Amino acid sequence: MAILYGFHAVLARLKTAPSSVDEVLYEQSRKDKRMQQLIDKVKANGVKATGVDAERLEKAAGHRQHQGVVAFAKEITKSNDLFEIIERNGKNTLLLVLDGVTDPHNLGACLRSADAAGVQAVVIPKDKSVGITPVVSKVACGAAETLPVIMVTNLARTLEEIQDAGVWCIGAAGEADGTLYDVDLKGPVAWVMGAEGDGLRRLTRDKCDQLIQIPMVGSVESLNVSVASSVCLFETLRQRQFAR
């Protein structure tokens, strides 16, 4: 059973898989238009809507950042066969590989950007990485419900297998010689992004086909992983759109 909270996450699940939602709890003291629209949407999909107090919502969500709405839903079965996804998308393959992102807000933001840029799957290691938590789902604004997130035991080996499948693996590293704008991104690509602070682990870095940096002219030394992912993914999207 999955616990979703926040307007975006709950509405996204109602839109993509309404039959998976068992019940929605909402803050009964709220009478604003946004809440009423959500209640109407819940009832229109034949889902049970229950008005409760803030204490009940906090207990269900596990904290206070629920925005007044919590949903109980069945887990959605997504195609998590990475190489089936690569085969299906061929030259249009676009993957995001996250090496040890432990902050749920960063992972959620990465998923949101990945979905917007047309990424077909996100790959994360099972160790030293946050999974799909309620916080991740909330920040992802529905992307965690539809985008395959594939957890692997050995990230380095998985990168080798992705390369064997014909996908070019590009790592983002501040010390790289080439820049994002020097690389051709119109073929099948897997972007490999490092964790907060530490960046790519050595073995992950060594397995990449190419390393690039994002040019920066300000005083900061690096970008947040979710911001860096967005920059790289949308440059990929830009190049591919111009190639049509």
Instruction: Cite the DSSP H helix spans in 71-220.
Output: 82-89, 104-117, 134-140, 143-146, 155-164, 202-207
Nearest Cα residue to 67 out of 24, 106, 107, 110: 24
**Two tokens at 135?**
């916080």
Q: What is the DSSP letter of 106?
A: H
Task: Return binding residues.
Answer: 194, 214, 223
Instruction: Extract the annotated binding site for S-adenosyl-L-methionine.
Output: 194, 214, 223
Contact 148, 78 (CB under 8 A): yes
Give the Cα separation of 181 and 200 in Å (integer). 20
DSSP letter for 36, please. H
Q: Residue 122 is which amino acid?
A: V
32-37 contact pairs (CB < 8 A, 24+): 34/7, 35/68, 35/69
